[in-house]
Amino acid sequence: MIVSHQNSIDLINVAKQTRLAAMKLAVLSTEQKNQAIEAIASALESAKDEILSANIADCEAATKAGIAKPLYKRLQLDEHKLRDTITGVRNVGKLADPVGAVQIHREIDTGLVFKRVTCPLGVLGVIFEARPEAAIQIASLAIKSGNGVILKGGKEAINSCEAIVKAVKKGLSQTAVNPDAVQLLTTREETLELLKLDRYVDLIIPRGSNSFVRFVQENTRIPVLGHADGICHLYVDATADIDKAVTITVDSKTHYPAACNAIETLLVHRSIAPQFLPKVATILQELNVELRGDKLTRDILSSSFSNIETATEEDWETEYSDLILSIRIVDTLEDAIAHINDYGSKHTDAVVTENKEVADTFLALVNAAGVYHNCSTRFADGFRYGFGAEVGISTQQMPPRGPVGLEGLITYKYQMRGDSHICATYTGANAKKFTHQDLPIDG
Amino acid sequence: MIVSHQNSIDLINVAKQTRLAAMKLAVLSTEQKNQAIEAIASALESAKDEILSANIADCEAATKAGIAKPLYKRLQLDEHKLRDTITGVRNVGKLADPVGAVQIHREIDTGLVFKRVTCPLGVLGVIFEARPEAAIQIASLAIKSGNGVILKGGKEAINSCEAIVKAVKKGLSQTAVNPDAVQLLTTREETLELLKLDRYVDLIIPRGSNSFVRFVQENTRIPVLGHADGICHLYVDATADIDKAVTITVDSKTHYPAACNAIETLLVHRSIAPQFLPKVATILQELNVELRGDKLTRDILSSSFSNIETATEEDWETEYSDLILSIRIVDTLEDAIAHINDYGSKHTDAVVTENKEVADTFLALVNAAGVYHNCSTRFADGFRYGFGAEVGISTQQMPPRGPVGLEGLITYKYQMRGDSHICATYTGANAKKFTHQDLPIDG
């Protein structure tokens, strides 16, 4: 117990240090922040050998521990990957500064004016798994958005992360940004402590498995940016072009099945199912996709395909993250929408139809961050949306929602300036009226 | 236990009905929603006698139960208050429709275009205390923003709320809005159940005491819009104009001390304290403000004022909501900022100074939704900001922050339209490039 108490005091001190550094970082100019980002890039280049050696040590330890192959691939950081990541750092430097934007500029009365101005959130807590280069990406996004960041990498990547953060801090030490703005935690106990620091940490970004994200969401009072499930749907309406439906189904399922924006369930209108299903099933099975269908689907496919399992209630609620697709036949567009709103995760859902009215209804009534017509759900991604950098995809109902760029790392404040203005002037019998006049936004 | 189980099933059914009605409401035109709001106003006028009688019954019961006087005043709904509230409903009709605004319109590639469009949140859960007219205000804001709403009024106001919601539903029954969009809960057990309905309710707005709001925040996974504490500060810098400082202090403390935007603590620079404090203390004591000071404050004031209590650590953390003010003397601007960031509630804090640099530093470094220069903290209010209607004041770090208008009741979705566009086209060796071209926002 003494150790645990000591740990939480240490972590509170780390968080306080980060907050102090973040306060100073918050008011730096765009140029100063960009210089710091360039310094990070250069420092990482200089520390290349050290980082790659550390990563080799991590990989050797992981091999000894019998790590799973996909995890090993994510852990591995070769020269090529490191170079690309450093290019990514420099690209963050080129992004527009999200801080200091005037969103509202309004006169309340003569001489009393307010502005709503964007500002950093404060301190971010980012918990990620094996990929060590995530530490680099996140640190550069944090600096660009004026935030301090407390990083916690996967335990497999501990040597890599330590080498990376050492280089980042060394780079920052030459700049206006205090190196305390970027911190690294290394133990699981610290992660649990971090989730309790709602006085010091303003946003938690968990990157990892669904169950991990859900654990974080359920065990902190700090706002969480991210998503647990990505149960995306494609609905092929009676009015669909069958070739388009096949093309979009295949891309949405197979282009990268482990991604959160891949579809898990295909909904098909009853009237088009006999024509569409055999075509798409043939191609999907060639691509090794396991199909699970409701009774009607299996009836239609049973003559040509012997291996279609029955889809159960559990299937509609499952994110396979794998080459598996559940198929359900619906009687109407409304049934499709109801299924999606019941079982979906508000991530991204698409309709294939040549009928504009059907498309409009689907896009209006499906409750998801992304509602698509005649295109693949795989477009749900910050880079593809043109946001430059993605800090995560949110499936919450409240903004920020969907793929979130740097704007997810900022908030705003109302700055009011007056000259002895008081509220008593505007109340009571002789109340003065407010002018409420919008002023030029750059004024 | 059986009763409780039955209750939660009933409430789930109510929530499902509300959600269905809200789905249809979400896609109505501005005109249809405004017609519904006018119908509410007319129905309330027609039901005037019934509502006022119901309120008299509530007031009589409250008197018998020995209700406190301020609570009684809030409970009381006379003809005048009701008329003003109905005028408020018609004003909501005149507000701009927050739904359907295009925030981003972007071409990803030829023929592949997305829009970020504002849309309603879904279903609101609003829990309020004695004031029955809150039910009217909230229902009209919910309809205008396209949301369903589940209302829970204070138990003292049960007859009034039932009469009001009956009239609202009667009004809606003549319009495109299904009356199920507005629901009333009447028991405390239902409030607790409501907080568990994160599948059906998208936002909880608690209106009431600090402890009640904190209870809600700590007992639901649904996002909560509101604030527990309003610990606001005024800092009088060495460079302040003393007359302005006195004027602003008096307004910020005494104009409406029960409001969340009234100040609780006055911070004074050491060098100006001997001139400023006796002046402001004289006026504050004439206005019956109890003063509590740190040692230096008491030293300065002791010759002329015998009744200044000692301010303790607890005072810096207390929202008095009353005619009490704690005073602390600081050595520097930085000390003032540190005190505010340590003890404040991120609501609204102000500085009095004639020095632009001091003002700029304060406005940049104080972490609060509102940071003011030379004006009263009492301006922190949606109506005064020109938002037309206020759904609450948020002291969270994430947006929406500060006074929140209708925009706090909406979210957005990304609507993507293509023509068989798939992601495979944009990856791999022959990857096509995205065009990422912004299009006219009204296009």
Asked, for residue B273, whether it belongs to a domain, the answer is: yes
CATH at A204 = 3.40.605.10
Asked, for residue A134, whether it belongs to a domain, the answer is: yes
Average pLDDT in the A307-334 region?
Answer: 96
Domain count, chain A: 2
* Interchain contact A397–B (C-beta under 8 A): yes
Final residue of a structural domain among B218, B245, B264: B218
All residues of chain B having their beta carbon less than 8 Å from the beta carbon of residue A241 are 420
* Alpha helices for B27-157 (secondary structure H): 30-46, 48-64, 69-75, 79-94, 133-144
All residues of chain A having their beta carbon less than 8 Å from the beta carbon of residue B121 are 397-398
* Interchain contact B367–A (C-beta under 8 A): yes
Better-predicted residue by pLDDT, A187 or B56: B56
pLDDT tens profile A19-61: 999 999 999 999 999 999 999 999 999 999 999 999 999 999 9
The pLDDT of residue B6 is 62
Q: Is B226 left (phi over 0), alpha (psi -120 to 50) or beta?
A: left
Residue B307 structural domain? 232-379
Asked if the Cβ–Cβ distance from A378 to B223 is below 8 Å, we say: no
CA–CA distance, B128 with B132 (Å, rounded to integer):
9
The pLDDT of residue B2 is 38
Give percent above pLDDT 90 in chain A: 83
The pLDDT of residue A98 is 96
Q: Confidence band (pLDDT; 50, 70, 90) for A5?
A: low
* Interchain contact B96–A (C-beta under 8 A): no
* Interchain contact B398–A (C-beta under 8 A): yes
Average pLDDT in the B65-69 region?
Answer: 89
The pLDDT of residue B159 is 96
Q: Are residues B135 and B277 in the same domain?
A: no
Looking at the predicted complex, does its ipTM rise above 0.90?
A: yes
Q: Are residues B179 and B276 in the same domain?
A: no
Q: Are residues A86 and A213 in the same domain?
A: yes
All residues of chain B having their beta carbon less than 8 Å from the beta carbon of residue A419 are 244, 374-375
Among A70-79, A82-91, A244-253, B240-249, name the one with the lowest average pLDDT: A70-79
Asked, for residue B127, whether it belongs to a domain, the answer is: yes
The pLDDT of residue B1 is 35
Q: Do residues B44 and B86 lie in contact, with contact meaning Cβ atoms separated by under 8 Å? A: yes
CATH at B320 = 3.40.309.10
Asked, for residue A413, whether it belongs to a domain, the answer is: no
pLDDT tens profile B386-434: 998 888 899 999 999 999 989 899 999 999 999 999 999 999 889 999 9
What mean pLDDT value characterizes chain B?
94
Average pLDDT in the B4-26 region?
Answer: 87
Name which of A230, A207, A206 is nearest A219 in CA terms. A206
Give the closest-approach CA distance of B68 to chain A in angstroms.
Answer: 26
Final residue of a structural domain among A218, A252, A282: A218
Q: Are residues A307 and A266 in the same domain?
A: yes
The pLDDT of residue B3 is 42
The pair of three-digit structure tokens given for residue A41, joined into one six-digit string: 């890039």
Q: Confidence band (pLDDT; 50, 70, 90) for A253?
A: very high
Three-state secondary structure call for residue B52: helix
Residue B144 has pLDDT above 90, yes or no: yes
pLDDT tens profile A139-189: 999 999 999 999 999 899 999 999 999 999 999 999 999 999 999 998 888
* Alpha helices for A255-294 (secondary structure H): 273-286
Map tokens 């197979």 to a residue: A254
Mutate: best of A102, A383, A385, partner B, most B CBs <10 A: A385
Question: At how many degrees (to 10) do helices A133-144 and A30-46 cross?
Answer: 160
Asked, for residue A89, whether it belongs to a domain, the answer is: yes
Q: Are residues B200 and B262 in the same domain?
A: no
Residue A63 has pLDDT above 90, yes or no: yes
Q: Are residues B24 and B132 in the same domain?
A: yes
Give percent above pLDDT 90 in chain B: 83
Asked, for residue A263, whether it belongs to a domain, the answer is: yes
* Interchain contact A203–B (C-beta under 8 A): yes
pLDDT tens profile B227-236: 878 999 999 9
Residue B443 has pLDDT above 60, yes or no: no
Q: What is the number of CB-based contacts under 8 A between chain A and chain B?
A: 212
The pair of three-digit structure tokens given for residue B109, joined into one six-digit string: 């590639």
- Return the exposure string of B175-211: e unless at least 16 CB atoms fall within 10 Å of the residue's CB, then b: bebbbbbbbbbeeeebbbbbbbbeebbbbbbbbeeee
Residue A6 has pLDDT above 70, yes or no: no
Q: Are residues B199 and B238 in the same domain?
A: no
Q: Are residues B208 and B244 in the same domain?
A: no
Asked, for residue A414, whether it belongs to a domain, the answer is: no
Asked if the Cβ–Cβ distance from B255 to A423 is below 8 Å, we say: yes
Final residue of a structural domain among A331, A359, A379: A379
Q: Are residues A168 and A295 in the same domain?
A: no
The alpha-carbon radius of gyration of chain B (Å, integer) is: 26
Asked, for residue B434, whether it belongs to a domain, the answer is: no
Q: Are residues A236 and A213 in the same domain?
A: no
Phi–psi pair at A349, nearest 5 degrees: -135, 145
CA–CA distance, A187 with A435 (Å, rounded to integer):
56
All residues of chain A having their beta carbon less than 8 Å from the beta carbon of residue B247 are 420, 422
Q: Do residues B234 and B350 lie in contact, with contact meaning Cβ atoms separated by under 8 Å? A: yes
A399: nearest CB among B243, B411, B419 = B411
Q: Are residues A142 and A242 in the same domain?
A: no
Q: Are residues B55 and B199 in the same domain?
A: yes
The pLDDT of residue A207 is 86
Asked if the Cβ–Cβ distance from B417 to A372 is below 8 Å, we say: yes
A376: nearest CB among B386, B414, B423 = B423
pLDDT tens profile B147-193: 999 999 989 999 999 999 999 999 999 999 999 999 999 888 888 99
Indicate the residue type of A14: V
